[in-house]
């Protein structure tokens, strides 16, 4: 009899978004006259910007003309896009060559696939609270996971220490769910730690475009020594509204080697085996994001989400509720008031003011007692949610 991958039996059911959906559905069934203010969503609400739409249309038209038609694309990405992304890094003062950039269908795909580069006996460190995919992708391939808790005492930005023994280190900054961002100094500690121990950092930079404090690092490659210990995984999902269009990119420096194996060459080998590349049309749309006009337009959209963050932060300031995030990230992570636990606070907001957020407990044990607001909703709903919050908790 075929033996399936038995590690799947070790996966815990993911109750978080299922429970939220069940609770909101039950509430609406019992209260059909009420409407909800959804501050829990991780999806964007604004459409693609016009520079991207124009490029997508042009690419579709190319596919109708024999001379312009594109079939299979290069597995690691079209050179026009790899070069545009390398240029984007250059503008941030980071030198990355086009053949260190790999175009992907999004960060989720990549966060799972990239584990092919590492032995299944290796150990992964996950800083909690965390984006749930890190843990699950490692369980599926049977890796050991070490959890590092973070909390208010370190602003949810823990430092490494010598008791940590791990081969793969997940770092997400700006963080989902906490919105906290590692400073240059803090991130340098992790880079030094990885180089000293021979570990590899998987740096999830899905929210780098939300950083407005220019003293904070957008890319791990801004740090000294990162080229010998880090892989950076990026996404256009939140940056440019590509959640449904699907595109991301990954940077693997050529200096990154372990035990005589070059990880950039290994990834070329992996991609040329396991994918036939991202579609021409999507890559053309993606390239438009990196033009001057594309950058201007996506930042107009990001500004809308950042204003939502300001509205929610003002409400929390007024109420004297502790929170982190919001300034340089699309998430706000707050302490549930009056000692409520995460789900208690969820029920309280749903029942009293019809505001839906995400209980922190769903992102790891140390998220208990905290709550996540996302800023991707509409400005109108965000304002009303903030008003209701102030009224309820004043
Ligand atoms: N990484 C983090 C931290 C995220 O929050 C998300 C999506 O919410 C992703 C990766 C996945 O991004 P993508 O849509 O590119 O798969």
Domain ranges of the chain: 9-48+294-393, 50-291
Q: Ligand 1 in contact with 389 (CB < 6 A)?
A: no
Q: Give, using CA atoms, the residue closest to atom 8 of ligand 1.
A: 42
For residue 371, what is the DSSP state?
E
Q: Ligand 1 in contact with 174 (CB < 6 A)?
A: no
Q: Which of 209, 237, 246 is nearest to 44 (CA)?
A: 237
| Chain CA centroid to CA 44, Å | 13
What confidence category does residue 204 fall into, taking pLDDT thresholds of 50, 70 and 90? very high
Q: Is residue 14 over pLDDT 80?
A: no
Residue 309 contacts residue 375 (beta carbons within 8 Å): yes
50-291: which CATH architecture? 3-Layer(aba) Sandwich (3.40)
Name the one residue in this structure whose structure tokens are 């980071």.
94
What whole-number distance in Å separates Cα of residue 256 and Cα of residue 221?
Answer: 12
Q: Ligand 1 in contact with 175 (CB < 6 A)?
A: no
What whole-number distance in Å separates Cα of residue 103 and Cα of residue 333?
Answer: 31
Q: Kindly state the average pLDDT of the residues 80-87.
A: 98
Question: Which atom, in ligand 1's list, is nearest to the CA of 236?
Answer: 15
Q: Ligand 1 in contact with 176 (CB < 6 A)?
A: yes
Question: Which atom, in ligand 1's list, is nearest to the CA of 235?
Answer: 15
Q: Kindly state the average pLDDT of the residues 256-282.
A: 97
The rounded mean pLDDT for the chain is 97
Q: Ligand 1 in contact with 248 (CB < 6 A)?
A: yes
Q: Is residue 200 over pLDDT 90?
A: yes
Rounded percentage of the chain residues whose pLDDT exceeds 70: 100
Q: Ligand 1 in contact with 208 (CB < 6 A)?
A: no
- Measured in Å, residue 36 CA sits from the centre of ligand 1 at 25
| Tens-place pLDDT, residues 349-375 | 999 999 999 999 999 999 999 999 999
- Measured in Å, residue 206 CA sits from the centre of ligand 1 at 6
| Tens-place pLDDT, residues 146-196 | 999 999 999 999 999 999 999 999 999 999 999 999 999 999 999 999 999
For residue 103, what is the DSSP state?
E
Per-residue pLDDT at 359: 97
Q: Ligand 1 in contact with 131 (CB < 6 A)?
A: yes
Torsion angle defined by CA atoms of residues 149, 150, 153 and 158, in that order, rounded to the nearest 10 degrees: 110
Q: Kindly state the average pLDDT of the residues 48-61.
A: 98
Lowest mean pLDDT among 16-25, 199-208, 228-237, 284-293: 16-25
Range list of H helices, 92-223: 107-113, 133-140, 184-197
Residue 142 contacts residue 136 (beta carbons within 8 Å): no
Q: How far, CA to CA in Å, does 315 sit from each of 312, 325, 392?
A: 5, 14, 11
- Measured in Å, residue 260 CA sits from the centre of ligand 1 at 31
pTM for this entry: 0.97
Q: Ligand 1 in contact with 236 (CB < 6 A)?
A: no
Q: Which fold has domain 9-48+294-393?
A: 3.90.1150
- Measured in Å, residue 293 CA sits from the centre of ligand 1 at 24
Q: Ligand 1 in contact with 247 (CB < 6 A)?
A: no
Per-residue pLDDT at 16: 87
- Measured in Å, residue 107 CA sits from the centre of ligand 1 at 5
* Pairing assessment for the beta strands 261-262 and 257-258 based on DSSP bridges: antiparallel
Q: Ligand 1 in contact with 204 (CB < 6 A)?
A: yes
Residue 91 contacts residue 83 (beta carbons within 8 Å): no
Pocket test for ligand 1, best of 109, 132, 176, 286 (most atoms within 8 A of CB): 176
């Amino acid at each position: 009899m075929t033996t399936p991958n038995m590690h799947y039996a070790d996966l815990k059911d993911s109750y978080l978004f299922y429970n939220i959906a069940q609770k909101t559905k039950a509430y609406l069934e019992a209260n059909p006259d009420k409407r909800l203010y959804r501050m829990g969503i991780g999806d964007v609400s604004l459409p693609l910007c016009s520079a991207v739409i124009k490029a997508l249309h042009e690419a579709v038209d190319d596919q109708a003309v024999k001379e312009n038609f594109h079939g299979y694309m290069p597995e690691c990405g079209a050179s026009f896009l790899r070069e545009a992304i390398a240029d984007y890094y250059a503008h941030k003062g980071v030198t990355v060559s086009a053949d260190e950039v790999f175009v992907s269908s999004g960060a989720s795909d990549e966060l799972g696939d990239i584990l092919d580069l590492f032995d299944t006996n290796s150990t992964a460190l996950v800083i909690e609270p965390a984006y749930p995919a890190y843990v699950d992708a490692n369980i599926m391939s049977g890796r050991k996971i070490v959890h590092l808790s973070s909390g208010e005492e370190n602003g949810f930005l823990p430092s490494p220490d010598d008791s940590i023994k791990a081969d793969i280190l997940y770092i997400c900054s700006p963080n989902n769910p906490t919105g906290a961002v590692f400073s240059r100094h803090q991130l340098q500690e992790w880079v030094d730690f990885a180089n000293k121990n021979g570990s590899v950092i998987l740096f999830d930079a899905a929210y780098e475009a939300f950083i407005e404090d220019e003293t904070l690092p957008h890319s791990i490659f801004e740090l000294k020594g990162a080229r010998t210990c880090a892989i950076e995984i990026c996404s256009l999902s939140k940056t440019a509204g590509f959640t449904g269009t699907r595109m991301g990119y990954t940077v693997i420096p050529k200096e990154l080697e372990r035990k005589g194996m070059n990880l950039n060459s290994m990834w070329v080998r992996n991609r040329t085996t396991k994918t036939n590349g991202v579609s021409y049309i999507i890559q053309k749309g993606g390239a438009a994001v990196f033009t001057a006009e594309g950058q201007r337009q996506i930042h107009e959209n990001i500004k809308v989400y950042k204003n939502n963050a300001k509205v929610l932060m003002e409400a929390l300031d007024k109420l004297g509720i502790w929170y982190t995030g919001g300034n340089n990230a699309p998430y706000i992570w707050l302490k549930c008031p009056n000692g409520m636990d995460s789900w208690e606070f969820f029920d309280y907001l749903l029942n009293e003011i019809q505001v839906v957020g995400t209980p922190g407990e769903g992102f790891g044990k140390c998220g208990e007692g905290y709550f996540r607001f996302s800023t991707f909703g509409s400005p109108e709903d965000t304002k009303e949610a903030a008003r209701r919050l102030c009224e309820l908790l004043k």
